[in-house]
Amino acid sequence: MSGLTHYDRTGAARMVDVTRKPATRRTARAHALVRMRAPVLDQLPANPKGNPLEIARIAGIAGAKRTAELIPLCHPLMLTHVDVEARVSRRGVEILSTATTTAATGVEMEALTAAAVAALTIYDMTKALDKSIEISELYLLEKTGGKSGRYQRGGDNSR
Q: Which amino acid is at 32?
A: A
Is residue 158 packed enough to be buried (19+ CB in 10 Å), middle (13-18) or exposed (0-12)? Answer: exposed
Instruction: Please confirm, yes or no, whether 17 is among the known catalytic residues.
Output: no
Q: Going by C-beta distance under 8 Å and a sequence separation of 6 or more, which residues neighbour residue 22?
A: 104
**Catalytically annotated residue among 17, 42, 124, 156:** 124
Residue 99's beta-bridge partner residues? 28, 82
**DSSP secondary-structure letter at 143?**
E
CA–CA gap between residue 87 and residue 68 (Å, rounded): 27
Q: Is residue 40 within 8 Å of residue 129, measured between CB atoms?
A: yes
Residues annotated as catalytic (active site), given as ranges:
124
